[in-house]
Amino acid sequence: MKRILALATCCLLIYMNTLPVFAASKEWDGSLISQTAVVMDAKTGQVIYEKDAHKVMYPASTTKILTGLLAVEQGNLADNITYSHEAVWGIERGSSHASISEGEVLTLEQSLYALAIESANDAAAGIGEYLEQKTGTSLAQLMTERAKQAGALNSNFVNAHGLPDDNHYTTAYDLAMIARECVKHEDFRTIFTAKTYSIPPTNKQSKTRTFNSANWFMNGVFIYDGNFPKEGLLMSKTGWTQEARHTMVTAMERDGKTLICVVMYSTVDDDKWTDTENLLNWAFANFQSVDLTGQYIALCADEEIYCDERGRLFIEKENITASDTSVLLPNGADVNSIKAEYSTPVLSGDMTTAEMTATLYTEDASGRKVLATVPVSATVSERTVVSVIPHVETSLASDLLMTVIFGLLTFIAVMICDILIGKRI
């Protein structure tokens, strides 16, 4: 039979005696006030809790994490922004702002601190104009495309601040995927965890403006649970509009794990804090990080994986490697329950190596739960002598053989006829 080109669905064999022992995990009790939520591993994108995470919602000012991401990726913090009439006066009256004047010049860095700490919509609008001028691309296209690159599935962005618009929407899952990209940048983390920041006098304002964070995770107001350490906070951004109600995105690092929590639409201000605290405390306490790199990973593949139909190029399973790969499992879970499904190998230009992805998952009566999709590499071997027939389907080989036999018989018959006819003549 023909060897299958794609790698078969395999299990990952983990040596239990080499892994740490964890206490049994505690199931989430289900009490959550926010309408939608997600807890995600920042490293892999693995979802360990979700409540209607793909339901389309209004993001309000959590939009500003995407604005900030684009600014640190596309801009220069020392660049100047001259605030236009539209940036200053085009935002909704009464919404959050940094009292920026028309024609005022601020640096991108100053604008980002106003965006993060004051949740300033005038700063957001100015940054949006700056990004359009810098890239030559409309802000809506920049934001929506960057969100898709981050892994967003159901999002569309039309402004930099998140003020209501029917065409401006996202999901808890998509915000978490965007936050994964955000926390990769040191400048972003510094700005979006700042407690206070001052802008000195400018060309339009004679006094220093000082911003103080209203984020309870940063300013110490949140005291409901003394067991919620603020150390390890990587970013946090709140949002509120009448349409979106209370929303929040938070990323935190603790015990070697980095988690992102998104909660959306709660009617009472306190609820987003308690929901976030409860979810993160539960997730950090009840999930173990299992390292699948090095000696811990053995891919249960065929002894030889063929990369072409003739079997000349192939991969031996011991030459398959994965690096920097981990998943989060509930404490006490059997790591041998992890399985993997691999994509078809993509050969390098010189055909000496191959790249593929491994989708790690667990499976039970409720179905398959994807843990993560990780890159996998392999060294490709080559045979100098190739036997074609063993790699051809039996039915095809039979057809070829029959064709050859029929041709030979036809040739013999013709020769015999020629001989007989010649004798008669």
Residue 22's Cβ-count burial label (10 Å; 0-12, 13-18, 19+) is middle
Low-confidence ranges of the chain (pLDDT < 50): 1-24, 223-225, 295-300, 386-396, 425
Phi, psi of 298 (to 5 degrees): -135, 120
Q: What is residue 226's predicted lDDT score, i.e. its pLDDT? A: 52
Structure tokens at 371: 């843990």
- Residue pLDDT, tens place only, 202-249: 999 999 999 999 988 887 655 444 555 567 899 999 999 999 999 999
Q: What is residue 377's predicted lDDT score, i.e. its pLDDT? A: 80
Q: What is residue 251's predicted lDDT score, i.e. its pLDDT? A: 96
| Chain position carrying tokens 């700490």 | 117
Residue 379 parent element (H or E): strand 367-379
State how far Cα 370 lies from the chain centre: 13
Please, which residues bridge with residue 10 across strands?
340
Phi, psi of 336 (to 5 degrees): -70, -10
Domains of the chain, by residue range, sit at 10-19+292-382, 36-267, 397-424
Q: What is residue 26's predicted lDDT score, i.e. its pLDDT? A: 59
Q: What is residue 15's predicted lDDT score, i.e. its pLDDT? A: 32
CATH architecture entry for 36-267: 3-Layer(aba) Sandwich (3.40)
What's the CA gap between 149 and 127, in Å, rounded?
A: 21
Q: What is residue 2's predicted lDDT score, i.e. its pLDDT? A: 36
Sheet holding 257-266, edge to edge: 47-51, 36-41, 257-266, 245-254, 233-241
Q: State pTM to two decimals.
A: 0.77
- Buried b or exposed e, range 185-195, using 16+ CB within 10 angstroms: beebbebbbbe
What's the CA gap between 122 and 168, in Å, rounded?
A: 18
- Residue pLDDT, tens place only, 122-134: 999 999 999 999 9
